[in-house]
Structure 1
Amino acid sequence: MKLLQIFDPKRGYCAGRLEGDKVYPVYYEEKRLRTVLDLVEYATALDMELSEVVDELTAAGPSLGEVNVAPDRAKSHLAIPIHPPEVWACGVTYKKSAEFRDEDTQTSKGIYDYVYFAERPELFFKATASRCTGPNDFIGLRSDATFTAVEPELAVVVDSRKNVLGYMVANDVSAWDIERENPLYLPQSKVFRGCCALGPVLVTADEIKDPYALTIRCEIKRANRILFSGETTLGMMKRKIEKLIDFLFLANTIPTGTVLLTGTGIIQTEEAALQENDVVEITVPEIGKLVNIAKRVS
Structure 2
Amino acid sequence: MKFLRIGPAGHEVPCVLDASGVARNISSLVVDIGPATMPGLIAAVSGVDLSTLPEVATTGARIGSPVARPNNVWCIGLNYADHAEEAGMPIPEEPIIFSKSSLTVCGPNDPILKSKAMTKLDWEVELGIVIGTPALEIAPEAAMDHVFGYVTANDVSERAWQIERGGTWIKGKTYPNFCPTGPWLVTADEVPDPQNLALSLSVNGEVMQDGTTATMIFGVAHVVHYLSQFAQLEPGDLILTGTPPGVGMGLKPPRYLEAGDTVTLSVEGLGQQESVVEAV
Flag whether TM exceeds 0.5 (same fold).
yes
Q: Tell me, what secondary structure is at the counterpart of 1:235?
A: helix
The equivalent of 1:190 in structure 2 is 173
* Paired position in structure 1 for 2:122: 149
Q: If the length of structure 1 is used for normalisation, what is the TM-score? A: 0.80
Instruction: State the alpha-carbon separation in 2 of the partners of residues 8 and 34 from structure 1.
Output: 16
Query: Aligned equivalents of 1:264 and 1:8: distance in 2?
Result: 29
| 8 Å Cα contact 2:35/2:236 also seen in 1 | no
| Correspondence list, 1:59-74, <5 A | 59-62=52-55, 66-69=57-60
Q: Which residue of 1 aligns with 2:154?
A: 171
CA-CA distance at 1:85 after TM superposition: 1.6
Deviates more, 1:82-91 or 1:15-24: 15-24
Contact kept in structure 2, 1:152 and 1:266, CA below 8 Å? no
User: Within 5 A, what are the aligned runs for 1:239-250?
Assistant: 239-250=218-229
Instruction: State which drifts further: 92-101 or 269-278.
Output: 269-278
- Counterpart CA distance in 1 for 2:209 and 2:11 is 36
CA distance in 1, matches of 2:14, 2:108: 15
Task: Pick the structure with more helix per residue.
Answer: 1
How much does 1:126 deviate? 1.4
Q: Retained in 2: the 8 A contact 1:148–1:176? A: yes
What SS is found at the alignment partner of 2:171?
Answer: helix
**145 and 77 in structure 1: CA distance in 2 versus 1, 3 angstrom threshold:** closer
Q: Tell me whether 1:54 sits opposite 2:37 in the alignment.
A: no
Contact map agreement 1:13 1:34 (CA 8 A) in 2:
no
Instruction: Using the TM superposition, give the Cα deviation of residue 293 of structure 1 relative to its aligned residue in structure 2, in angstroms.
Output: 1.5
Equivalent residue for 2:184, pick from 197, 201, 204: 201
Task: Give the match's secondary structure for 2:182.
Answer: strand
Amino acid at match of 1:231: D
- Determine what percentage of the aligned residue pairs are the same residue: 24
CA 1:25/1:283 → structure 2, altered by over 3 Å: closer, same or farther?
Answer: same
User: What is the aligned counterpart of 1:124 among 62, 76, 98?
Assistant: 98
**1:265: how far off?**
0.5
Structure 1 residue ranges without an equivalent (≥5): 44-49, 70-75, 103-111
Q: Classify the secondary structure of the residue corresponding to 2:260.
A: coil
Query: What do residues 100-141 of structure 1 show as CA deviations (whole Å, max 9, x unaligned)?
Result: 222xxxxxxxxx31xx241x210111121x221112211222
Aligned partner of 1:60: which letter? L
Question: Is 1:252 aligned with 2:244?
Answer: no
Q: 1:8: how far off?
A: 6.2
1:233, 1:52 → 2: CA distance? 32
SS of 2:86's equivalent in the other structure is helix
Distance 1:38 1:176 in 2: 30
Deviations 1:175-218 (A, max 9, x none): 12333325635121111111111001000001100011110111
79, 86, 90: which is aligned to 2:76? 90
Distance 1:38 1:56 in 2: 22
Q: Is the CA contact (8 Å cut-off) linking 1:216 and 1:231 kept in structure 2? A: yes
User: Number of residue pairs matched?
Assistant: 262
1:228, CA displacement in angstroms? 4.2
In the aligned structure 1, how far is the partner of 2:277 from the partner of 2:235?
Answer: 30
Matching residue's letter, 2:185? L
| Distance in 2 separating the partners of 1:79 and 1:269 | 26
Maintained 8 Å contact 1:88/1:127: no
CA offsets 1:216-257 (integer angstroms, 9 cap, x no match): 111111xxxx24432000001011211111222223222210
Deviations 1:129-182 (A, max 9, x none): x22111221122243221111100000001313500000000000012333325
Query: How many angstroms apart in 2 are the aligned matches of 1:296 and 1:89?
Result: 26
The letter of the residue matching 1:34 is: V
- Which is strand-richer, 1 or 2? 1
Answer whether contact 1:23 1:60 (CA < 8 A) is retained: no
1:36 maps to amino acid: I
Q: CA deviation at 1:288?
A: 1.1
Highest relative contact order (Cα 8 Å, sep 6+), 1 or 2?
2
